[in-house]
Amino acid sequence: MNSMFESIKQGLHEAIEYERGNLSGVNVDKVTIAPLHSYTADEVKAIRKQHSMTQRIFAEVLGVSVKTVEAWESGTNRPSGIARRMLEFLAHDDGLLEKYSVVARS
């Protein structure tokens, strides 16, 4: 337990020194994350139809209830968090669900 504490303490010390400009030769990866899109009812419905799914199948794929999909598509509620990111993936990649064996079409 003590070595874990020392490791964390050392890492924090190095981070502080790096921010102060006192530590050079450190590999730093800068990550930019795209903001989440706020989907309208029509956009959610369009994505579902793009994938030729019923509300029931779409709900199963996303791991939400049919009532949730109905609420999104009626504008009563809006998708949040991970659902918004998943909708973004689905909007941009027609083969995503098949590629990862989430859906098998016959």
Please report whether residue 77 resides in a domain. yes
Within 10 angstroms of residue 2's Cβ, the number of other Cβ atoms is 6
Is position 63 within any domain? yes
CATH at residue 83 = 1.10.260.40
Q: What is the pLDDT of residue 1?
A: 65
Cα(63)–Cα(85) distance, rounded to whole angstroms? 13
Give the mean model confidence (pLDDT) for residues 27-41.
92
pLDDT of residue 58: 98
Q: Which domain holds residue 46?
A: 41-99
Q: Kindly tell me if the per-residue pLDDT of 2 is higher than 80.
A: no
Q: How big is the CA angle at 34 (ends 48 and 49), to the nearest 5 degrees?
A: 5
Q: Phi-psi region for residue 23, left (φ > 0), alpha (ψ -120 to 50) or beta? A: beta
Tokens describing residue 67: 């009532």
**Would residue 47 count as lying in a domain?**
yes
